[in-house]
Amino acid sequence: MATIDHLEAMSTQVRRDILRMVHAVNSGHPGGSMGCTEYMVALYFEAMNHTPKPFSMDGVGQDLFFLSNGHISPVFYSVLARSGYFNVSELSTFRKINSRLQGHPTTHEGLEGIRMASGSLGQGLSVALGAAATKKSNGDPSLVYTLHGDGELQEGQIWEAVLYAGGKKVDNIIAAIDANGQQIDGPTDGVLPMGDLALKFEAFGWKVLVVKEGNDMQSVVNALSEAKAMTGKGFPIALILQTSMGHGVDFMAGTHKWHGVAPNDEELKNALGQLPETLGDY
């Protein structure tokens, strides 16, 4: 079991990766990536049972993860590389021509660790439910995890899937919501108010855990542990993570401004100064 100190050191390094990746190509989505870093690190380095090498698309006997809000690919790629799915040096190819690290994740280039393409929002929960159904059918007791943006929940397909999972009592899935309250055009409440997400999921037959400190590693680790213990009991689990977009860098935190904007040279220097190199840059 990883210590909280190690997971926090990993998070700092992952945030450095995210910023250096998007800066190098002056594109990509750092804000949401940094807000979800604790969840992704806790998932891959603590919660999930998974085998990076050799990578198996079918993942029999392993927990699976589906990133539904594919635009936060930088955090996904960094965590996959640092888990050992592929070499961290490949992070330098992000969004460049002939790279396996496409702007949004894809299976199409054979990148280890990716099991579905995502980017067009709202599709990941359905795919995860299919994978969960196959696990049940195969007698595989492993779990299926997902991550969604809160803005992404405005897509109708999500609610088809939420209805299905609750109605059919799917109990081998843990869906996490990155509730940062922000989307491209501004605060979620200004774009299309989402109301009480926990009540919505509960009304659809889900059990909900709200993590008020979604950027506190201990809180996230505890919540994942609690969520795992709730599986197998006849209902799906939603983990609502209250996070801060751009967390970890003072001038990037808590605003939608850094949703899809890369830092310039000076901003990168300032940001990296707040995130000491812990495990070695790629």
Q: Which residues bind another protein (CB under 8 A)?
A: 57-60, 64, 66, 106-108, 115-120, 122-135, 137-138, 140, 156-157, 160-161, 163-164, 167
Cβ proximity to another protein, 163 vs 203, nearer residue: 163
Residue 13: name the closest of 256, 198, 278 by CA: 278
Which of 71, 239, 209, 63 is closest to 142 using CA atoms?
Answer: 63
CB of 138 to another protein, least distance (A): 6
Residue 26 sits at φ, ψ, to 5 deg, of 50, 40
The answer to whether 220 touches 241, Cβ cutoff 8 Å, is yes
Query: Tokens representing 93?
Result: 């190819």
Q: Which is nearer to another protein, 136 or 233 (by Cβ)? A: 136
User: What minimum distance in Å lies between the beta carbon of 61 and another protein?
Assistant: 10
Residues with Cβ within 8 Å of residue 199, at least 6 apart in sequence: none
Phi and psi at 53, nearest 5°, equal: -135, 130
Helix 4-25 / helix 73-83 crossing angle, nearest 10 deg: 130
Task: Determine the Cα–Cα distance for residues 72 and 150; give it in Å rounded to an integer.
Answer: 13
Distance separating alpha carbons of residues 254 and 121, to the nearest angstrom = 22
> Based on CB atoms, which residue is closest to another protein, 159 or 282?
159
Pairing of strands 64-67, 144-149: parallel
Residue closer to another protein by CB (options 204, 258) is 204
Give the whole-angstrom CA distance, residue 114 versus residue 65. Answer: 9
What one-letter code names the amino acid at 23? Answer: H
Task: Give whichever of 3 and 56 is closer to another protein, judged by the CB atom.
Answer: 56
Return the number of the residue (119 or 186) whose C-beta is nearest another protein. 119
Q: To the nearest whole angstrom, how small is the minimum distance from the Cβ of residue 10 to another protein?
A: 27
Q: Which is nearer to another protein, 82 or 115 (CB)?
A: 115
Instruction: Report the candidate in 89, 29, 96 with the shortest Cα–Cα distance to residue 263.
Output: 29
Tell me the CB-side half-sphere exposure of residue 270, using CA atoms within 13 A: 9
The Cα–Cα gap between 214 and 243 comes to 5
Nearer to another protein, 66 or 235 (CB): 66
